[in-house]
A and B are shown apart, each in its own frame.
Chain A
C-alpha cells in the first residue's frame, strides 16, 4: 500500500516534521510514501489522502541529532520536490545509524548537504542583492523613514533571512516583497508571510550616486567578466540598479585603457613644484650634539651595516643613564623588544627585572643593551622564531657597542651569554670557563660573565631550572658587590 502526503512546502519545517513523526510512529518505510506539495497535488489526489497511519503499539519516541534538525531546516526551504522524501529517508536511516551525518560521502548526506549549501547561497545572495528604495513620507509628516525592496529568490528563504534584515536595518521601516513571500519591520514587530507578493514600482534618486560609484570603482585594465558573473549571476541583474551599466563598462574597457596609455606622463602642475620646493626648504630637525649618546642612538636608527635591518621593525638601542656604573649586554632584541624599541622588555626582560629586584639592584641605574641591535628571526606562521646572529653580524654591530661603552664608561661590564662575550672579546669560549669571576679588561674595566636570562627560560626540567636560577641570582649578588 502507498501513502500519499501533500505539504504546503514553503519552507516551514513544522508541517513536514508533524507528518514525518506520524509515519515514523507507524513504522512506515520510506519507499511507500509519496510526498507532494499541495500546488502540484491539486486534482491529482484529494486532501483525503493526507491522513497519517495509526501509531504502532511498539513505537517508542526516538530522538535525532540536533545537526539533523539544523540540516532539515535548511533543506526544507529548497524548492526541489524531492526534499520531503530525502529528509524522511535520512530520518528513517538515522534511527538505525546514528553516525549517518558524519559519512560525508553518503549519497543522501551529499544530496542534503548540497541542498543546504544551495539554500545558504540563496540566503547569502539575498542579504547581498536586496536593494532598498526609499518611500518618502508625505510632506509635513515626521516619523521613521520607510524603504521597500523587491527581490526574487530561488527558494523559500524569506522567513529564514528576515531576522538578518531586522538585525541590520533597525532604525527604519522596511518591506521586502518577493514572489515567494514577504517580510517587514516597523520598529517593534518582524512580520513575514509566504504568500507571493506583487512587484512594486519604485524609484530612488540615490541609485544614481550608487551607479556613479559602481562605474568609478571598476578598473578597466583588469577586465574579468567571468569572475563577475560567477558571483553575480545574470538572473539577479534585473533588480540591481547598477547592473544596467555592465554592458557599456565592458564594451568601453579596452578603449579606456588605451586612452590611459596615450595620456601617459604629462607635465606636473605648479602645485607639485611648490610642494617639492617647500619640502626642500624644511629645516633638518634638531639633532643631538655630535659625540653624545643621544646622537649615537639617532644615528643607529638608520643602521644598514648588515642585512638584518630590513627584516626587523627597528633598531633597539641601549637604554639607561649615560653615567651608569654598570652596563649589561645581552644577545639581541626579541619579538617584544623589536616592537617596543627597548631592550629587555619581553619574557627574558621580565625575569631579568625580577632577579634584579630580588637582589636589590635598581634597573634604572643600569645601562642595558645588546650585542646586536636588530632582531634576527625566522617567520613561522603567526610567530617569529629567534635566530642566533652570526659572527659577521656581531662584528658589524660591535661598531655601536664599542661606542656605547666609550660614552657610558661603565666600571663594570656584564656579558650575558656567549654572543655578548664574543662581541666584547672576539673569543669563542665556553661560558662555564669564564663565568662568575671578575676579569680585568685592557681598558681598565672589569668584565663579568654570566648566562643570558632566556637560557634559564628554556630549561625544561624544573629542578635544574631552579638550580640555574639560583646560580644566576648569586652572579647578580656578586655584580652588586663588584659595582659597590
Chain B
C-alpha cells in the first residue's frame, strides 16, 4: 500500500535532518513585486522556526527519496539500514514547497536525495523540481540543491541556473576516512566536482562579451558539510581540511556536523552522544580563521593532540598562551591587534575604531558597547584602566574556566 503524503513527509524529513546546513543567506536580492510571482530573497536569510535542538528551520529540508544504493556507515539512509523507505514525486515536492512558502513557514527548499539507479537519474529529477518551481510557478524564494558528485556536467550547469546554492558534502576530513566509511564515494571525485563548480561560478560571473551582463549561476555559491567525531581525525586535521576547501573552491561555508547516533546505526560506529561542544569550538575556530586573521596553526597549536580546548573558546585559549601580546591599548591598538582581544568581536572593534577618533575610551564606553568587561579587562588598557599584572596571573585561566559541575544525586 502506498504511504500517505503525511507519512512520507515524516520519513523524508527525518532522513534529511542530519544535514546541518539550513542557511538561506548570501544570495542576490529578488522580489516578486512587479512580476506577480511568489517569493523573495533579501540578502540575509530568515529562520522561521527553531526546533528544540536549537537549530534554525529556514528551508523545507527534505529528501526526494531515501532509497540509496550507497552504503555510507554514518548515514541513516545507507542501503544496509532498516529505516522505512519512501519517495516523493517531483510534483509533490513542488506542491509542498509552494504551500509551505505561502504560509510563511519557510524561505525555500533544500532538496537532497539518496542515489537511486544512477547519479544522473536522481539529479535529473532534482533539476526538474528547481526548473519547474522557477519557470512554471514563478517561484523566487531560495533553492538549495545538494548535487551529486558523479552527475553529468550539463545537469550541474542547469542546476546552477535555477538554484541559489549548490553543495557537495566532503563528508569526512580525510581521504582515508571517506574510503573507510563511505566506500562508494571517491574523495577525488568530490574535490573535482567542487573545482568544476568553482570554475563555473567564476566563469558565469564574468560579464559576457556581447551584453556585458553577468549571468546568474548559483549566486549564493557552494558549501559543504563535514561530519565530526565519526572517524579519528583531530581538530587540526578538520580545520586544515576546511582551510583548503575555502582556499581551493571558494566555499561560502563549511558546516561541521557532530556525528549523531542514528537509528539502526552501523556496527562500525560509536553510539555516543554527539560531541556538541566540539562542534561549537570548531565553528568558533572557523570564524577566527575567516574573519579575525588567525592562521589554523595558531588556533590549534595550544591544544593537546591537535584538539581544541573544550573549556575555553579558541580565542581566549590563544590569548592565554600568548600573554606577551597583551595588554592591547584600545585607544591606540591596530585593528588586527584589537580583533585578537578575547571578548571583542568584529562589530565592537568597528565601533571602537569609530568612537576613539572623537574621544578617549574608558571601560564605561566599552560597557555601553555591550562588551563583557570581565572578559576583556585583563587584556586591554583604556583611559583610566591598566590591568597591572592581571595578564600575568597564574590563575587567569581558572578565572575563565567553567565552574566544575557538582555531582547530582541519582
Instruction: Spell out A's residues near B (CB within 8 Å).
Output: 99, 102-107, 110, 124, 127-134, 145, 147, 149, 164, 166-172, 187, 204, 206-210, 212-228, 231-232, 240, 242, 246, 249-250, 253, 257, 260-261, 263-269, 271-272, 275-276, 279, 301-302, 310-314, 335, 338-341, 377, 379-384
Instruction: Spell out B's residues near A (CB within 8 Å).
Output: 5-6, 9-11, 13-14, 16-18, 31-40, 42, 46-57, 60-61, 69, 71, 79-82, 96, 99-100, 102-105, 138, 174-175, 184, 187-188, 191-192, 194-196, 198-199, 243-244, 246-248, 250, 258, 260-267, 271, 273-274, 276, 290, 296, 351-352, 354-355, 357-359, 361, 364-366, 368-369
Q: Is the CB of A265 within 8 A of B266?
A: yes
Q: Is the CB of B5 within 8 A of A209?
A: yes
Q: Is the CB of A168 within 8 A of B9?
A: no
CA–CA, A269 and B82, complex, Å = 7
CA–CA, A22 and B196, complex, Å = 63
Q: Which of B33, B42, B71, B358 contacts A103 (CB 8 A)?
A: B358
CA–CA, A384 and B249, complex, Å = 10
Residue of A128, A263, A383, A384 contacting most chain B CB atoms (<10 Å) = A128
Q: Assess A242 versus B49: contact at CB under 8 Å? Given A103-B355, A171-B32, A379-B244.
A: yes
Q: Is the CB of A227 within 8 A of B32?
A: no
Q: Which of A107, A167, A225, A227 contacts B40 (CB 8 A)?
A: A167
Q: Which of B13, B192, B247, B352 contacts A377 (CB 8 A)?
A: B247
CA–CA, A105 and B383, complex, Å = 14
CA–CA, A88 and B344, complex, Å = 32
Q: Is the CB of A227 within 8 A of B54?
A: yes
Q: Please name all residues of chain A whose beta carbon is closer than 8 Å to the beta carbon of B264 when the two chains form the complex.
A: 263-266
Q: Is the CB of A310 within 8 A of B187?
A: yes
Q: Please name all residues of chain B whose beta carbon is closer than 8 Å to the beta carbon of A225 when the two chains form the complex.
A: 52, 54
Distance (Å) between the CB of B71 and the closest chain A CB?
7
Q: Assess A382 versus B195: contact at CB under 8 Å? Given A147-B102, A219-B260, A228-B51.
A: no
CA–CA, A166 and B368, complex, Å = 37
Q: Assess A302 versus B188: contact at CB under 8 Å? Given A105-B355, A209-B96, A218-B52.
A: yes
Q: Is the CB of A132 within 8 A of B52?
A: no
Q: Is the CB of B261 within 8 A of A314?
A: no
Q: Is the CB of B248 within 8 A of A105?
A: no
Q: Please name all residues of chain B whose beta carbon is closer than 8 Å to the beta carbon of A133 when the two chains form the complex.
A: 103
CA–CA, A356 and B369, complex, Å = 61
Q: Please name all residues of chain A whose beta carbon is closer than 8 Å to the beta carbon of B271 when the two chains form the complex.
A: 260-261, 264
Q: Which of A212, A226, A301, A341 contacts B9 (CB 8 A)?
A: A212
CA–CA, A214 and B244, complex, Å = 35
Q: Is the CB of B102 within 8 A of A224?
A: no
Q: Please name all residues of chain B whose beta carbon is closer than 8 Å to the beta carbon of A339 when the two chains form the complex.
A: 195-196, 198-199, 248
CA–CA, A132 and B48, complex, Å = 12
Distance (Å) between the CB of B105 and the closest chain A CB?
5
Q: Please name all residues of chain A whose beta carbon is closer than 8 Å to the beta carbon of B35 when the two chains form the complex.
A: 170
Q: Is the CB of A132 within 8 A of B102?
A: yes
Q: Please name all residues of chain A whose beta carbon is closer than 8 Å to the beta carbon of B138 when the two chains form the complex.
A: 171
Distance (Å) between the CB of A274 and the closest chain B CB?
9
Q: Assess A228 versus B52: contact at CB under 8 Å? Given A104-B355, A168-B40.
A: yes
Distance (Å) between the CB of B52 and the closest chain A CB?
5
Q: Is the CB of A128 within 8 A of B47?
A: yes
* 17 extra interface residue pairs, beta carbon distance < 8 Å, beyond A271-B79, A313-B248: A105-B359, A169-B32, A169-B102, A217-B14, A217-B16, A218-B53, A221-B261, A222-B274, A223-B53, A231-B54, A249-B51, A265-B264, A265-B266, A266-B264, A268-B80, A275-B71, A313-B188
Q: Please name all residues of chain A whose beta carbon is closer than 8 Å to the beta carbon of B54 when the two chains form the complex.
A: 222, 224-228, 231
CA–CA, A171 and B34, complex, Å = 10
Q: Assess A266 versus B82: contact at CB under 8 Å? Given A167-B40, A221-B261.
A: yes
Q: Which residue of B lies closest to A314 (CB)?
A: B192
Q: Which of B5, B55, B69, B351 contacts A275 (CB 8 A)?
A: B69
Q: List 18 A-B contacts (CB under 8 A).
A: A99-B358, A147-B103, A170-B36, A170-B37, A208-B6, A212-B9, A219-B17, A221-B261, A223-B53, A224-B52, A228-B50, A264-B264, A264-B267, A265-B267, A272-B79, A314-B195, A338-B248, A384-B247
Q: Is the CB of A384 within 8 A of B260?
A: no
Q: Please name all residues of chain A whose beta carbon is closer than 8 Å to the beta carbon of B244 when the two chains form the complex.
A: 311, 379, 384
Q: Please name all residues of chain A whose beta carbon is closer than 8 Å to the beta carbon of B261 when the two chains form the complex.
A: 221, 257, 260-261
CA–CA, A469 and B187, complex, Å = 40
CA–CA, A189 and B12, complex, Å = 40
Q: Is the CB of A224 within 8 A of B276?
A: yes
Q: Is the CB of A209 within 8 A of B36?
A: no
Q: Assess A222 versus B57: contact at CB under 8 Å? Given A102-B354, A272-B80.
A: no
CA–CA, A267 and B159, complex, Å = 37
Distance (Å) between the CB of A257 and the closest chain B CB?
7
Q: Is the CB of B246 within 8 A of A382?
A: yes
Q: Which of B36, B61, B276 contacts A222 (CB 8 A)?
A: B276
Distance (Å) between the CB of A16 and the closest chain B CB?
25
Q: Assess A314 versus B17: contact at CB under 8 Å? Given A102-B357, A168-B32.
A: no
Q: Please name all residues of chain A whose beta carbon is closer than 8 Å to the beta carbon of B352 when the two chains form the complex.
A: 104
CA–CA, A363 and B96, complex, Å = 54
Q: Please name all residues of chain A whose beta carbon is closer than 8 Å to the beta carbon of B36 when the two chains form the complex.
A: 170-171, 187
Residue of A207, A213, A302, A313 contacting most chain B CB atoms (<10 Å) = A213
Distance (Å) between the CB of B226 and the closest chain A CB?
14
CA–CA, A379 and B246, complex, Å = 8
CA–CA, A171 and B40, complex, Å = 12
Q: Please name all residues of chain B whose beta carbon is closer than 8 Å to the beta carbon of A224 when the two chains form the complex.
A: 52-55, 276
Distance (Å) between the CB of A302 and the closest chain B CB?
7
Q: Which residue of A lies closest to B51 (CB)?
A: A218
Q: Is the CB of A216 within 8 A of B10?
A: yes
Q: Which residue of B lies closest to A341 (CB)?
A: B192
Q: Assess A172 versus B102: contact at CB under 8 Å? Given A167-B32, A232-B50.
A: yes
Q: Is the CB of B359 within 8 A of A103?
A: yes
Q: Which residue of A lies closest to B105 (CB)?
A: A210
CA–CA, A206 and B101, complex, Å = 11
Q: Is the CB of B103 within 8 A of A222?
A: no
Q: Please name all residues of chain B whose beta carbon is closer than 8 Å to the beta carbon of A105 when the two chains form the complex.
A: 351, 355, 359, 361, 364-366, 368-369
Going nearest first, the 9 A-B pairs with the smallest beta carbon separation are A227-B54, A224-B54, A379-B247, A105-B365, A268-B80, A170-B32, A167-B31, A104-B351, A339-B195
Distance (Å) between the CB of B318 and the closest chain A CB?
18
Q: Please name all residues of chain A whose beta carbon is closer than 8 Å to the beta carbon of B48 when the two chains form the complex.
A: 128-129
CA–CA, A133 and B40, complex, Å = 19
